[in-house]
Each structure stands twice: as C-alpha cells, then as structure tokens.
Structure 1
Amino acid sequence: MVLLLLGMLLTVIALPVSDSKEQTEEKQDLTENTESCEGDRTLLEAKLESILENTEGVGKVQVLLMTGEGKQGFYGTENTEVTGVLIAAEGADNSVTVQNIQQAVMALFQIEAHKIKIMKMK
C-alpha cells in the first residue's frame, strides 16, 4: 500500500506544472497583441474618416471597421483583413455621394459592395 501511494506521489510530482509567471507573461502578450490590432483598426478608421470628410459632398463621417483574422502580407508582416465597413455620413442622402464612398471603400479594402453599409448621419 505504501509503495502504491509513493508511486502515485512520484507520478504527480513528475507532471508538468506551468509556472504562474509564464501564465502571466502569456496573458500580457495576448493583451498587447489585442491592443495592437485595436490600435491598427482605429488608425485605419481615422484615416478613412479624414479622407472621406475632405471629399466633396460627404460632410462629417463616422467609420466602423470590422476585422477578421490577419493575412500574411509582404515581408512576413501580418495585415489586418477588413471584413465589413459601416459608415455614417452627412452627405449620404445623395446617391452619387453614397456610390463614391462605396467605390472608394471597395477599392481601398478589396471587399464586396454587400459588406459596406452607408447611412445618413443625423
């Protein structure tokens, strides 16, 4: 009986145990990666808003980008893949303006028209 208990004790001791420090570092890395992706998306949103607001007929805009998994880009860098775009624009009551915004977003992010929604801002 003692030998059985001793064998079980040795088995438990031999099991790999992750260090709490390693777990903390992994969580920090995950948080930093998430914040980096969030920062990239916010930068893209800000750039698109700036460009659209300086385009004739668009007026004030707000942009929300939906992103998916990153794609491997040039030189091994990871690029954020835009999977959907929501835009609220003052000039969205003009069909020509809406078409211009949609074409610009399609060209910029290489996404289909059905993944872009443009609404009139109140």
Structure 2
Amino acid sequence: MATKKANIIALIVIALVGFLLFRQDVSPSIEETVEVKLAATLSQIEGVGQVSVYFHTEASAESTLFSFSENEKKATYTGVLIVSEGAQSPIIRRQLQEAVSAVLQLPAHQIIILPMKKEDHHES
C-alpha cells in the first residue's frame, strides 16, 4: 500500500514538473501578452471587428540576443501598428487612435491604423 502511494506521489510530482517546464517554454513575452490583451480589448469596440496589434519598442530596434536585463521588461513603445477589419471607416480609425493613444500614452503620429484585408470565402 505504501508503495502505491509513493508511486502516485512520484507520478504527480513528475507531471507537475513536466507541466511547469512545458509552460515556461511556451509562455509569451511581456510585449506579446500586452499586444494580445490590447487587441482583445479593441475588438470589443463596436464596428472594429477583428484586430491585430504590433508594438515597436526601443528594444526591437537594437540587438537583444544575449541581453536579459530587467529594463527590457519595461520597454518603451515607440510605435504601434493596428490592423482592424473596421478600419475602412474614418470614425473607427479615430476611435482606435484615441484609445491606443490614451492607453499607451503615445502621440497620434506614432500610431498607424490600417484596414485588414478581406478574406474571400469561395464555396466549392
């Protein structure tokens, strides 16, 4: 009976360690997480539709191959690209620009908003 309990505990520990190691490998960077959250929030605005967000930071302009400093976690955003289904509308573009400018404290000229390409849905 004690052997069964020891085996079960060992399996649980191995599974937990494996889960934690796997989770570390696929965890997104801080910028990717913020991009995803911002895109999800912007897509909730009426008329915006699907949204993709890309940040340009001071760090992305430099080589950061072997740099793991804490300063990278606090990257300064120097530009944002927003691609939205609803961006054909000047009203939607203005709303997106105002929202992103306020949230990220960026001037309007550092925010680019472009319409998302329309996907063709051909029936076979």
- TM, length-normalised to structure 2: 0.59
Greater helix share, structure number: 1
Unaligned runs of 5+ in 2: 1-26, 60-69, 118-124
Runs of 4+ in 1 over 3 A off after TM superposition: none
Q: Which residue matches 1:52?
A: 42
1:95 maps onto 2:99 in alignment: no
Letter in 2 for 1:105: V
Q: What is the root-mean-square deviation in Å for CA atoms of aligned residues? A: 2.0
> When the two structures are aligned, how many residues end up with a matched partner?
80
Letter in 2 for 1:56: E
What amino acid maps onto 1:65 in structure 2? F
Structure with the greater alpha carbon radius of gyration: 1
What is the DSSP-based 3-state SS (H/G/I as helix, E as strand, rest coil) of the residue aligned with 1:57? coil
Residue 115 of structure 2 aligns with which residue?
120
TM-score by length of 1: 0.60
The separation in 1 between residues aligned to 2:102 and 2:51, in whole angstroms, is 18
- Give 5+ residue unaligned stretches, structure 1: 1-35, 70-75
